[in-house]
Amino acid sequence: MKTPHSFLFRLSVLLLFAISAQILRAASLHYNVSFDCEKQYINVELSVTDLQSAETMLRLPVWAPGYYLIVDYPKNVVDFAVKDAAGNDIRWTKVNKNGWNIANGKNQEVTVTYRVYANAQSVAEAMVKPDKAFVPINGVLMYVENEKDHPVTVTFDLPADWKHISTGLDKVEGRPHTYTAPSFDVLYDCPVYLGNQTLIHFDVEGRPYELALETPYDIENTTFVEDLKKMIATTTGMIGHVPYHHYTFILMGAGRGGLEHTNSQACFTDGSFWFSDRNYYLNFFSFITHEFFHLYNVKTIRPIELGPFDYDREVHTPSLWISEGFTVYYEPLLMRRAGLITQAEALAKMSEWLGIIENSEGRKHMSLRQSSYDIWLNFFNSNANTDTRISYYNKGPILGLLMDIEIRRLTSNQRSLDDVMRTLYRDFYQQKQRGFTEEEFWAVCAKVAGTPLTEMREYVDTTKEIDYTRYLGYAGLEVDLTPLPEQGDGTVTIRSWQLKPKTECTPQERAIRDSII
Q: What pLDDT, in 10s, does the model give residues 476-510?
A: 999 998 888 766 665 567 888 999 999 999 999 99
Instruction: List, for residues 364-375, the tens digit of each pLDDT value.
Output: 999 999 999 999
Tell me what pLDDT residue 26 has.
59
pLDDT class of 327 with cuts at 50, 70, 90: very high
20-34, 383-397, 460-474, 501-515: least confident range: 20-34
Q: Report d(CA 130, CA 153) in Å as an integer.
A: 25
Contacting residues for 63 by C-beta, under 8 A, at least 6 apart: 69, 70, 71, 311, 314
Tell me what pLDDT residue 495 has.
87
Tell me what pLDDT residue 5 has.
46
pLDDT class of 14 with cuts at 50, 70, 90: very low
Instruction: List, for residues 124-136, the tens digit of each pLDDT value.
Output: 999 999 999 999 9
Q: What percent of the chain has pLDDT over 70?
A: 93
Instruction: List, for residues 78-137, the tens digit of each pLDDT value.
Output: 999 999 999 999 999 999 999 999 999 999 999 999 999 999 999 999 999 999 999 999
DSSP-derived secondary structure letter, 309 = -
Q: Count other C-beta atoms under 10 Å from residue 378's C-beta.
A: 18
CA distances from 363 to 187, 227, 465, 485 (A): 39, 36, 9, 22
Q: Report d(CA 312, CA 384) in Å as an integer.
A: 30
Residue 25 has pLDDT above 80, yes or no: no
Q: Report d(CA 363, CA 465) in Å as an integer.
A: 9
Residue 167 has pLDDT above 90, yes or no: yes
Which one is predicted more confidently, 237 or 215? 237
Q: Are 291 and 267 in contact (CB under 8 A)?
A: yes
Residue 387 has pLDDT above 50, yes or no: yes
For residues 314, 318, 321, 327, the Cα torsion angle rounded to the nearest 10 degrees is -60
Tell me what pLDDT residue 485 has.
73
